[in-house]
């Protein structure tokens, strides 16, 4: 009986061992089938016909507007894809942890998300050539006591997890042991700014470019002090990525630096927000809430050939939405038309708000159409607005000077640097139309761009709060 039991036990043991061996072999076979993601290479990108780029949702990187994808990083990545002759696949993330995981797992070929080049990151990743730099600002709510140094912080400080802000504050803590902060994995920099305004936290740290954009919408955000001096921004690559990608990025950034593409792109998103005026911004937001509703239907009616919000921004710059406004030069009304221009546009009364808006919209459209066809958008529009302010002749004089100095006369970012030269005799004496206060159209256009951005943002906020009718959706099986 005992022998039978031992024999039976031995068979079971051998059977279990055999099953274990087979299971091990099967596991090894499966693991062999799971190949590790191969490092990104330029040839692989070209062979498959597209490049995948990781980025962050936000108004400095990637967002969706009425016309589709937009954002500084998106446009720059699109130009890089075109440089390679492939399609662009943008892979946006909601936080930095997910973004880095995309790169580490091989899901994306590179990251384009306004990432600072820091010492810690250089140990883990590779970087393309820098295209900009930003400093880090500690911010608080206007009206509270301004902190001027780390030892002045008396309340709660929160920053974005995995950000370069963590690295810099950790370094600063070595000399300031009393410094404390919390990190947020859920909120991004813009959301933390809102938390400061809501009184939920006292301080946060934000990059200077993000701050510049958001102060147009939230003028109560104030700067305490600079936490860290300017750091370079660059696209990030996996440490094991193929050298061919880095080489192509060096070539690409060399080209866009040289041909002015990067300068124009930087001007498009940041050129008009370098200066911040708290009083003016606050007054404009109050005017949007108080005055604009009365005239918005008119801007929408006559802004059919352009965004009505742009027409409204121009009118605010001209008259602050005052129908009876007038200047010492004799221009009058909502759009501050000259008498000859009003007659040319068929306007009988410049003091009638509707007539003035109609005439201004018609005149601006004509100015845009008079710009050379080779001038790209949005430069055509900025040129048209500058000529609305200073006259087409003076604008063309500035474009001529730009060309003579080796600049591109078809780019606003280059021409706006030469417009102020029309005040200097050594320049204007050689021009066709002579002296002009060339700094005024520069300020004029940049103000309109700021007002326009703010109007877009506030209009979008209103739409989010307005219940939308439910739409029937047809589901189609493909």
Same domain for 258 and 214, yes or no, is no
Same domain for 201 and 122, yes or no, is no
Q: Which of 276, 304, 327 is the last residue of a domain?
A: 276
Q: Which of 233, 265, 300 is the last residue of a domain?
A: 233
Assigned domain for 68 exists? yes
pLDDT number for residue 68: 80
Per DSSP, the three-state class of 145 is coil
Tell me: the pLDDT tens digits for 438-477?
999 999 999 999 999 999 988 887 776 555 444 333 333 3
Tell me: the pLDDT tens digits for 153-182?
999 999 999 999 999 999 999 999 999 999
Same domain for 425 and 341, yes or no, is yes
The mean of the pLDDT values for the chain is: 86
Same domain for 197 and 293, yes or no, is no
- CA-CA distance, 57 to 51, in Å (whole number)? 18
Same domain for 196 and 227, yes or no, is yes
Same domain for 439 and 346, yes or no, is yes
Assigned domain for 307 exists? yes
Token pair recorded at residue 47? 């062979």
Residue 69 — φ and ψ, nearest 5°? Answer: -60, 145
Tell me: the pLDDT tens digits for 87-96?
999 999 988 9
Q: Is 318 a catalytic residue?
A: yes
Q: DSSP letter at 146? A: P
| Helix (H), strand (E) at residue 363 | helix 353-370
Same domain for 121 and 249, yes or no, is yes
Closest by Cα among 462, 461, 459, 466 to 311: 459
Assigned domain for 2 exists? no
Same domain for 404 and 449, yes or no, is yes
- Reply yes or no on whether the pLDDT at 365 is more than 90: yes
pTM of the model: 0.70
> Which CATH number belongs to the domain containing residue 339 in this structure?
1.10.530.10
Alpha-helical regions (H) of 206-260:
208-214, 243-258
Burial of 346 (0-12, 13-18, 19+ CB in 10 A): exposed
Assigned domain for 469 exists? no
Tell me: the pLDDT tens digits for 116-140?
999 999 999 999 999 999 999 999 9
Region for 115 from its dihedrals, namely left if φ exceeds 0, alpha if ψ lies in -120 to 50, beta otherwise? beta
Assigned domain for 476 exists? no
Exactly one of 318, 377, 417, 446 is catalytic; name it.
318
Closest by Cα among 469, 30, 67, 72 to 235: 72
pLDDT number for residue 100: 95
β-strand pairing of 125-127 with 110-111: unpaired
The whole domain housing 106 covers 35-130+235-276
Same domain for 177 and 60, yes or no, is no
- For the chain, what is the domain count? 3
- Reply yes or no on whether the pLDDT at 1 is more than 70: no
Tell me: the pLDDT tens digits for 8-61?
434 444 444 444 434 444 444 444 444 445 567 899 999 999 999 999 988 889
Burial readout 408-423 (b: 16 or more C-beta within 10 A, e: otherwise):
bbbbbbbbbebbbbbe
Assigned domain for 42 exists? yes
Q: What one-character-per-residue DSSP string does 280-299 give?
A: HHHHHHHHHHHTHHHHHHHH
Assigned domain for 247 exists? yes
> Which CATH number belongs to the domain containing residue 259 in this structure?
3.40.190.10
Same domain for 271 and 312, yes or no, is no
Same domain for 260 and 187, yes or no, is no
Rg (the chain; Cα; Å):
29
- CA-CA distance, 253 to 163, in Å (whole number)? 24
- CA-CA distance, 299 to 447, in Å (whole number)? 18
Same domain for 217 and 359, yes or no, is no
Assigned domain for 431 exists? yes
């Amino acid at each position: 009986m005992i022998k039978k039991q031992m024999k039976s036990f031995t068979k079971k043991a051998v059977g279990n061992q055999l099953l274990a061996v087979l299971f091990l072999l099967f596991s090894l076979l499966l693991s062999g089938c799971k190949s590790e993601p191969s490092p990104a290479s330029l040839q692989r990108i070209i062979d498959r016909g597209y490049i995948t780029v990781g980025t962050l949702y936000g108004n400095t990187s990637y967002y969706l507007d009425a016309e589709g994808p937009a954002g500084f990083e998106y446009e720059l990545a699109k130009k890089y894809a075109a440089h390679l002759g492939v399609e662009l696949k943008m892979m946006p993330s909601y936080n930095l942890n997910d973004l880095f995981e995309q790169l580490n797992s091989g899901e994306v070929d590179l990251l384009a998300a306004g990432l600072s080049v820091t010492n810690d990151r250089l140990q883990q990743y590779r970087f393309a050539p820098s295209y900009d730099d930003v400093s880090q600002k500690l911010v608080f709510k206007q009206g509270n006591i301004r902190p001027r140094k780390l030892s002045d912080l008396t309340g709660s400080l929160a920053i974005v997890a995995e950000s370069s802000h963590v690295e810099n504050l950790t370094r600063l803590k070595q000399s300031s042991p009393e410094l404390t902060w919390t990190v947020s994995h859920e909120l991004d920099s813009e959301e933390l700014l809102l938390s400061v305004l809501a009184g939920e936290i006292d301080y946060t740290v934000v990059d200077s470019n993000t701050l510049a954009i958001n102060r147009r919408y939230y003028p109560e955000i104030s700067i305490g002090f600079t936490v860290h001096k300017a750091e370079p921004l660059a696209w990030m690559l996996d440490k094991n990525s193929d050298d061919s990608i880095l080489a192509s990025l060096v070539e690409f950034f060399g080209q866009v630096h040289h041909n002015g593409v990067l300068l124009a792109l930087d001007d498009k998103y940041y050129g008009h927000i370098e200066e911040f005026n708290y009083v003016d911004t606050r007054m404009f937001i109050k005017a949007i809430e108080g005055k604009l509703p009365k005239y918005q239907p008119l801007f929408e009616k006559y802004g059919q050939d352009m965004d009505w919000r742009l027409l409204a921004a121009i009118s605010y710059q001209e008259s602050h939405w005052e129908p009876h406004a007038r200047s010492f030069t004799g221009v009058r009304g909502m759009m501050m038309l000259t008498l000859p221009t009003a007659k040319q546009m068929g306007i009988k009364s410049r003091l009638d708000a509707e007539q003035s808006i109609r005439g201004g919209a018609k005149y601006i459209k004509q100015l845009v159409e008079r710009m050379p066809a080779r001038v790209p958008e949005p430069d055509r529009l900025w040129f048209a607005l500058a000529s609305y302010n200073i006259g087409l002749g003076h604008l063309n004089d500035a474009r001529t000077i730009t060309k003579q100095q080796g600049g591109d006369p078809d780019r606003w970012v280059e021409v706006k640097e030469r417009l102020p030269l029309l005040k200097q005799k050594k320049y204007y004496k050689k021009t066709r139309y002579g002296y002009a206060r060339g700094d005024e159209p520069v300020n004029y256009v940049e103000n309109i761009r700021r007002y326009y951005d703010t109007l877009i943002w506030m209009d979008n906020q209103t739409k989010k709060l307005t219940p939308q009718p439910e739409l029937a959706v047809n589901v189609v099986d493909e």
